[in-house]
Amino acid sequence: MQQIERYTSSARWFHWVHVVAFLWLALSGLLLFGSWFGFTPVGIWIRIIHRVGAVLLLGAPLLYAILHIRKSWSFIKEAFTWGKVDLEWVKAAPGYYFGNDKTKMPPQGYINTGMKLFRLCILLGMAIFIITGLILWFFKGTVPPEVIQYSLLLHDIAFILSICFLFIHIQLAVLHPKMDEGLLSIVDGKVSAEYAKSHHGLWYDETVKNGK
Amino acid sequence: MDISRGDFIKTLMGATGLMLLRKPAIKATSQSTSSVSEYAILVDVSKCVGCWWCFAACKNYNNLPEEIKPESESPPELSSKTWTTLSTVNINNRWVYRKHACMHCTDAACVKVCPAGALNYTEEGYVLYDRDKCIGCGYCAEFCPYEIPKLENNKITGIDTMSKCTFCKERIENGQQPACVEACPTGALKFGKRQELLEEAKERVKELSKKNRNACLYGEYEMGGLHVLYVLPDKPSVYSLPEMPISPASLIVQKDIFHPLAWISWGVIAAGLAVNLLVVRARQLKKKEGG
């Protein structure tokens, strides 16, 4: 079966480094969130451990952005490019994801509306995590206490929401029967032509036109 | 009555929070402002002459580095090496002193925010801490409305531990008084049952209010009831005490609203996604059988 490249090897590396950093931070963050670290061998090292993850989470996208400026820029631009077709997608999505009804789904480009939404959430969430995280790390005692207090609140809210989106991401990338090539594509970078045609019709046409 | 929007929102959030919150055990004992087992220190500002003996005794008993007698113009601030000090104010060319240390609140913001469970209440009403549990995050220092907890910053490892007044718990258990109270030569400090000290403080305030109508008792209801009670000859702000100390609003929103909401939203989303999988699998199967 014909295979089409969907993710470059550096994009895949970036994805999985981000996964490790995110889970590292989420798990150590959950211990802080629930005040459970005292019962784990982690104990008072929890802050250091959390910060190791933070360096990875901030470092990986910076490195990727330096190495692939144009791709990074289009990653951001795509997330903010919205049109009428996105509204149609939103209307048709429940029927598709619950009822296998593909007839009303408008053909999608490289990423669909749901993925765009997810990208926006990642960009916003990362911004909140990084800004409030840096404040909590470096500015205690030097900024007014209210800044620390609300940074902590925002950091918690971003955490709560990002776990919600993590569940949805895993559902749609790994578990949902319609996305049967999702996980494999971010591992070996390729999807079948058939999958590309049915999930990302516009992108498939473009790719074929470009003779890839 | 004039209620600002901010206050209204805070009250609303607080009320919502209280409904969602499982009540901490301490709440039960703090319902009556002073249960029989609670102790306190009464600070009568009108009797303080600023001798700094409480300051010195605290350092002596707690093995904190000693200092020469401070000047009224530049009183030492609280630090990891100074757990009690005097807050000074010059009124009509006369220095007035207020002993300043941990208030041992009944509803303490530091206890609520501490992610390590290192800060806890005792039956006597003290707010104590366990240094071994402290991770040095410093949130207690950022959330305390009196800015009491201080951190000892180790620049190399980055690990700090907080410190503050311990109410000299060991001394009290040995039948002694807190070091500062024992050292006070003028009777400005008094240790005893909170209930009895409240009565006494009210008598003193009645007397003082003959001279100044603003004389007041501070600590009966502030932060759910303090375990350091102040007899003040004038209003609290004169002695740099906040008139209406409150736990930061963000703390109530975070711990009483968003934390319970977190588990609810994660549960609802996980359940919704599971239903989605079941539905879509069942329909797929049906389609195959049908086709």
Instruction: State the pLDDT at residue B23.
Output: 42
Strands B189-193 and B39-44, by their bridges, are: antiparallel
* Backbone torsions φ then ψ of B89, nearest 5 degrees: -145, 140
Q: What is the pLDDT of residue A82?
A: 87
- Tell me the HSE value of B100 on the side-chain side, using a 13 A CA sphere: 23
Residue of B nearest to A151 (CA): B250
Assign B105 a pLDDT band (cuts: 50, 70, 90): very high
**Nearest chain B Cα distance for residue A202, angstroms:** 25
Query: Which of the residues in chain A have pLDDT under 50?
Result: none
Determine the Cα–Cα distance for residues B111 and B107; give it in Å rounded to an integer. 8
Substitution target from B111, B119, B142, B247 for chain A, most A beta carbons within 10 A = B142
Q: What is the DSSP string of B105-128?
A: -SS-HHHHH-TT--EEE-TTS-EE
Which of B25-39, B74-88, B232-246 has the weakest average pLDDT? B25-39
B116·A164 Cβ contact <8 A: no
Confidence (pLDDT) at A102: 76
pLDDT value for B157: 61
Q: What is the pLDDT of residues A96-149, one digit of tens each?
A: 787 777 777 777 877 888 888 999 999 999 999 999 999 999 898 889 999 999
Q: B13 at the A interface (CB within 8 A)?
A: no
**How many angstroms separate the CA atoms of B265 and B271, rounded?**
10
| DSSP letter assigned to residue B74 | S
Of residues B229, B190, B180, the one with CA closest to residue B53: B180
b/e per residue A66-83 (b: at least 16 CB within 10 A): eebeeebeebeeebeeee
Task: Using DSSP, state whether B235 is helix, strand or coil.
Answer: coil
Question: Which residues 112-151 of A have a C-beta within 8 angstroms of B?
Answer: 140-141, 145-146, 148-150
Report the pLDDT value the prediction gives residue B9, as an integer from 0 to 100: 52
Please, what is the Cα angle at B44 between B38 and B45, to 5 degrees? 135
Query: How many beta-carbon pairs below 8 A join chains A and B?
Result: 101
Which of the 8 DSSP states describes residue A112? Answer: -
Contact between A97 and A105 under an 8 Å Cβ cutoff? The reply is no
Residue B209 near residue B218, CB atoms below 8 Å: no
CA dist B282 and A56 (Å) reads 41
- Residue B173, pLDDT score: 93
Handedness of CA B226, B232, B234, B240 (dihedral sign): negative
Laid out side by side, the sheet with B216-218 consists of B189-193, B39-44, B228-232, B216-218
- CB-based contact (8 Å) between B248 and chain A? yes
User: Count of alpha carbons within 13 Å of A58, Cβ hemisphere only?
Assistant: 14
Decide: B200 and B8 in contact? Cβ < 8 Å: no
Q: Residue ranges of the alpha helices (H) in chain A?
A: 9-33, 46-67, 69-80, 84-99, 113-138, 145-170, 182-188, 193-199, 201-209
Q: Quickly list H helices, B64-158.
A: 109-113, 139-143
What pLDDT shows up at residue B77? 94
Helix A9-33 vs helix A145-170: crossing angle, to nearest 10: 120
Structure tokens given for A51: 């910060």
Query: Which residue among A38, A47, A98 sits closest to B137, beta carbon to beta carbon?
Result: A47
The structure tokens 């009690």 sit at B84
Per-residue pLDDT at B274: 92
Residues 106-145 in B contacting A (C-alpha not used; CB under 8 Å): 115-117, 133-139, 141-143
Q: What is the ipTM of this complex?
A: 0.86
Asked if residues B149 and B162 have their Cβ atoms less than 8 Å apart, the reply is yes
Output the pLDDT for position A45.
85
CB–CB of B115 and A32 under 8 A? yes
pLDDT in tens, B213-242: 999 999 999 999 999 999 999 999 999 999
Residue of B nearest to A171 (CA): B273
* pLDDT at site B85: 96
Are the CB atoms for B61 and B179 separated by under 8 Å?
Answer: yes
